[in-house]
Structure 1
Amino acid sequence: MEGTPPMERRTELKSALRIEDVPTVRAIVAQKLREAIMSGNLKPGQRLVERELCEMMGVSRPSIREALRLLEADGLVNTVPHRGPMVSTISLDEARQLYAARAVLEGFAGRECARLHDPAVVRRIGDALTRLKTALAKPDMIAVLEAKTDFYAALIGGCQNSFIERMLKPLHDRITLLRITSMSQPKRINKSLREVTAIWRAIQSGDKDLAERCCVDHVKAAAVAALDMIQRSMAEEKA
């Protein structure tokens, strides 16, 4: 170190001390609220009162507002005139449209993943699947949702099509509002695990047709469970 020029020493010190990717308060608040929505602690249609959130989270009102704007951009929060921000709800028609679009796009993503057959992508999907099985065994529903999110992210990213990725992300953000309830049904959990395992095996084997079919079948099965859940909820509200 003694023979190192002063300029290089300063550069090395700066590099060693530099802190990267420090999360902002806004990002932390947004993540906490996202987790509360995913876990069902904040339910669809529930009002998000800034004053109450400030007290619960111990942060300033501007931080809450900025975080809510981030979640609104993701479709998880909706600002209603004269009522303020609320956790978004999904109507029966909207759910049908979401799943129909998702089936087409995700089927293509699965097909491309199998065609490209990138070992790193196959490994990433497999790792997410392993975490999903571990979370289901506990069971830990937050970990389940996180593992499924990672699974879909690996699948979507693995098709190497930025347009597909940009279109699918908001769909998955919206579907998150339904997933926590549908995944709480034991029969659906086990069936979903078999479906995503089949997707991974098809991609692992490089079978394009099978990967696409497995992805479409998985989305259709998820749609049946979600639509049934919405219809039962509507019937209960009318009763």
Structure 2
Amino acid sequence: MDLHIPRENSSLRQQVTDRLREAVLSGTFEPGQKLVERDLCEMLGISRTVLRESLQYLGAEGLITNIPHKGPVVSTISYQEAKDIYAVRQALEALAGEGFALHATDAQVQALRAALGRLEAINASPQSTHSLLDAKNDFYKILLEGCDNTVVGSMLTLLNNRVTILRRVSLSAKDRLPKTIKELSEIVAAIESRNAKLARKLCAEHVAKAAAVAMKNLGEPAGGQAQ
């Protein structure tokens, strides 16, 4: 992955932040990996001051952790944190699905169907995990824009980075993608029929199934502390 930053009109710090975020979310930088400032400055073609500002910003997003006497490392999501994230995501996405069925315009419903079509195309002709995550993020962006609940939208947006990391875990499981497509197809069908109650139920079930896969792959801590 070429991390070097071209000089453009947007702020350099923003460009660096976006590029580093993408590297973390795509798996270029793996959880627990130490980030060496000198190496990053050379790869990005920037000063250490700009880099540190960006790392501080990503730290606020929960993607980077600054460990005393070690420096910045890519954050690792613990079993308990993942469990908590899925619980919150399940409640919020159920509300988003219900709200979308009730309030989305016909154009937004059509856009959601089109986003599902892009996911189905990836399933039919497997592409990179990055392409898959981009397509799924597009699906949820449309869902949040049409749910008519700005609080749900803003809270899920705040969670999105860590949710994307967990999606990499759940979607990496064998046969998970076809099941995901089936579950999302049922959600879209419920939305198209404007069945808000069913859309809410199906959204909650979809997150619960994704959580079960991800939590299994993450592995429960010894002694079952996360029960």
TM-score band w.r.t. shorter chain: 0.7 to 0.9
Match of 1:142 among 130, 154, 167: 130
Aligned-pair distance for 1:114? Answer: 0.3
User: For 1:130 and 1:59, how far apart are their aligned partners in 2?
Assistant: 40
Which letter maps to 2:146?
Answer: G
Aligned-pair distance for 1:228? Answer: 0.5
TM-aligned CA distance change 1:210 to 1:228, over 3 Å: same
TM-aligned CA distance change 1:203 to 1:142, over 3 Å: same
Residues 1:206 and 2:186 are matched in the alignment = no
Question: Is the CA contact (8 Å cut-off) linking 2:13 and 2:50 kept in structure 1?
Answer: yes
Q: Percent identity?
A: 42
Map residues 92-111 of structure 1 onto 2, 5 A cutoff. 92-111=79-98
Match of 2:210 among 222, 226, 239: 222
- Secondary structure of 2:175 counterpart: helix
TM-score by length of 1: 0.82
TM-aligned CA distance change 1:63 to 1:197, over 3 Å: farther
- Secondary structure of 2:34 counterpart: coil
Map residues 3-42 of structure 1 onto 2, 5 A cutoff. 22-42=9-29
User: For 2:128 and 2:187, how far apart are their aligned partners in 1?
Assistant: 23
Deviation string 1:151-202 (CA, Å, 9 cap, x unpaired) is 1121122112111112112222212222223212231111111112222221
Residues 1:191 and 2:179 are matched in the alignment = yes
Which letter maps to 2:15?
Answer: I
Count of residue pairs brought into register by the alignment? 214
Aligned-pair distance for 1:61? Answer: 1.6
Q: Stretches of 4+ moved more than 4 A in 1?
A: none
1:50 corresponding residue in structure 2: 37
Deviation string 1:72-121 (CA, Å, 9 cap, x unpaired) is 22222222222222211111111111111111111011001001131232
1:59 corresponding residue in structure 2: 46
User: For 2:194 and 2:152, how far apart are their aligned partners in 1?
Assistant: 20
Give unmatched runs, 5+ long, in structure 1: 1-20
Residues 1:168 and 2:168 are matched in the alignment = no
Give the structure with the higher percent helix: 1
TM-aligned CA distance change 1:131 to 1:67, over 3 Å: farther
For the aligned residues, what is the CA RMSD?
A: 1.9
TM-score by length of 2: 0.86
Match of 1:123 among 110, 133, 139: 110
- Secondary structure of 1:186 counterpart: coil
Give unmatched runs, 5+ long, in structure 2: 1-7, 223-227
TM-aligned CA distance change 1:47 to 1:218, over 3 Å: same
Larger Rg: 1
TM-aligned CA distance change 1:134 to 1:72, over 3 Å: farther
Question: Is the CA contact (8 Å cut-off) linking 2:104 and 2:147 kept in structure 1?
Answer: no
